[in-house]
């Protein structure tokens, strides 16, 4: 999780600064959600999420001016400008209440204003903070986009993962990250990105580092993708139980709390791995659209067995 301070979000959305100096803009933002104070303005403070950015829209400003006297305003604003609250934003071009401005100046507390609608502002803040404060981890493997599906190819070192991905790139698919994948949970989805320093590069044993974009064109790489499918490469062992028909129970890997379908594919000399991975991805696309080829085949076999049984009983 990266560190985000008030200055970052102010510069991102170009809010107007009402109070707060450079030191005040260094307050940390640690919560994705915002707080529209309703009960707080009414004088009820238990349960308040004090670490959220406070948003005052038309309703809040209207309530402050029409229903709150100076004493109740001071009580509410003294609480809302506490040491753990990052900032207060006033939307829809509303003017800052004088009591709030006075208290914020005394405390060097950051207050901002925006001409944007409250609903738009909250969506923008949530989306921005969701990405900046996203949970993350580093995964070992290759991330490639095949037929629009983000495929994480994992396996032990020396399995030929980079060589397989290179062949997929030559077939028109896109490289996202080689060897190291920076994984983030954003909007309840897994997003994979390359480390900026090695973005667009691959390492091939015996060849060295290659620049994929310059060799295969700008369309051969992409900066990020959802991680939809995980393919684990294993050395072929005749004693291992691999899916033959596909009716076996599906296996999943949990990454940052999100389950990803996993396929274990054996690697052996002569197997066209790029073709197999393309086929696995197309079968995955059929699966998420509701077409399960294995089950359809099983139903066909069962119907044939029942037909033969009926013929034998008639005979």
Residue of 12, 84, 135, 140 marked catalytic: 140
Rounded distance between C-alpha atoms, residue 132 and residue 139, angstroms: 19
Concerning whether 179 is annotated as a catalytic residue, the answer is: yes
Residue whose structure tokens are 């207060």:
88
Concerning whether 12 is annotated as a catalytic residue, the answer is: no
Contact partners, residue 105, CB within 8 Å, separation at least 6: 19
What backbone torsions phi and psi does residue 22 show, to the nearest 5 degrees?
A: -60, -35
Q: Which residues does residue 203 pair with via DSSP β-bridges, in sequence order? A: 209
Residue of 27, 173, 179, 193 marked catalytic: 179
3 state DSSP class of 133: coil
CA torsion angle for 286, 290, 291, 294 (degrees, to 10)?
110
What backbone torsions phi and psi does residue 264 show, to the nearest 5 degrees?
A: -100, 120
Rounded distance between C-alpha atoms, residue 1 and residue 4, angstroms: 9
Residue of 52, 161, 173, 193 marked catalytic: 161
Contact partners, residue 2, CB within 8 Å, separation at least 6: 132, 133
Concerning whether 135 is annotated as a catalytic residue, the answer is: no
DSSP 53-84: EEEE-HHHHHHHHHH--HHHHHHHHHHHT-TT
Pairing of strands 88-90, 53-56: parallel
Q: Which residues does residue 135 pair with via DSSP β-bridges, in sequence order? A: 185
Concerning whether 106 is annotated as a catalytic residue, the answer is: no
Rounded distance between C-alpha atoms, residue 73 and residue 65, angstroms: 9
Contact partners, residue 246, CB within 8 Å, separation at least 6: 283, 292, 293, 294
Residue positions annotated with a catalytic role: 140, 161, 179, 244
């Amino acid at each position: 999780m990266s560190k985000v301070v008030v200055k970052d979000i102010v510069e991102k959305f170009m809010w107007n600064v009402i109070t707060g100096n450079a030191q005040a803009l260094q307050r940390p933002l640690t919560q994705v959600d915002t707080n529209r104070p309703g009960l707080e303005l009414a004088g009820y403070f238990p349960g308040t999420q004090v670490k959220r950015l406070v948003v005052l829209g038309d309703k809040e400003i209207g309530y402050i001016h029409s229903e709150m006297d100076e004493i109740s305003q001071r009580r509410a604003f003294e609480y809302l400008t506490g040491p753990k609250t990052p900032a207060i934003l006033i939307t829809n071009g509303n003017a800052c209440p004088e009591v709030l401005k006075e208290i914020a100046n005394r405390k060097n507390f950051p207050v901002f204003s925006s001409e944007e609608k409250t609903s738009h502002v909250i969506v923008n803040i949530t989306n921005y903070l969701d990405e900046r404060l996203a949970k993350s981890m580093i995964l070992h493997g290759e991330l490639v986009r095949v037929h629009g599906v983000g495929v994480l190819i994992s396996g032990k070192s020396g399995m030929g993962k980079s060589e397989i991905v290179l062949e997929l790139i030559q077939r028109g698919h896109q490289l996202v990250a080689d060897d190291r994948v920076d994984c983030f949970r954003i909007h309840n989805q897994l997003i994979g990105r390359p480390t900026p320093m090695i973005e667009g590069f691959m390492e091939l044993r015996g060849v060295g580092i290659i620049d994929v974009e310059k060799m295969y064109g700008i369309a051969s790489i992409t900066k990020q993708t959802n991680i939809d499918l995980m393919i684990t490469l294993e050395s072929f062992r005749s004693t291992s139980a691999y899916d033959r028909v596909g009716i076996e129970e599906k296996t999943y890997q949990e990454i940052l709390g999100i389950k990803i379908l996993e396929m274990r594919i054996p690697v052996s000399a002569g197997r066209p791995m790029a073709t197999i991975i393309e086929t696995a991805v197309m079968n995955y696309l059929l699966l998420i659209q509701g077409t399960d080829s294995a089950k359809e085949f099983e139903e066909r076999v069962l119907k044939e067995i029942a037909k033969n049984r009926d013929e034998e009983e008639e005979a």
